[in-house]
Copies of this chain bind each other. A is one copy, B any other.
Amino acid sequence: MLRPLGKRVIIKRLEAEEKTASGIVLPSQAKEKPQMAEVIAVSNEVEDIKVGDKVVFKKYVGTDIKVEGDEVTICEIADILAIVE
């Protein structure tokens, strides 16, 4: 597994059906094109977000990488806008 460093988390984009279940619609034509994802790893320096959290983040941020078949994104917590509760 990967452990992010600094103020970073690793997230995995949600599938369409998971997004629908959340009741949240992310407008595709929006300026910042937000996306939904699940947090799969957090750095020691991150306090407000934990593994398993579903989050909304800005689309064009972070570094994409493939870990054991899963496409994930390493991104700064400043780019995570909100947690779905």
A27–B67 Cα distance when bound, in Å, is: 11
Main secondary structure on A side of the interface with B: strand
A24–B72 Cα distance when bound, in Å, is: 10
State the number of copies, please.
Answer: 7
* Residues 44-80 of A contacting B (Cβ, < 8 Å): 44, 48-49, 55-56, 58, 63-68, 74, 77-78, 80
* Residues 1-43 of A contacting B (Cβ, < 8 Å): 1-6, 8, 10, 23-27, 30-32, 34, 41
Q: How far is the CB of A70 from chain B (nearest CB, A)?
A: 10
Residues of A that sit less than 8 Å from B by CB: 1-6, 8, 10, 23-27, 30-32, 34, 41, 44, 48-49, 55-56, 58, 63-68, 74, 77-78, 80-85
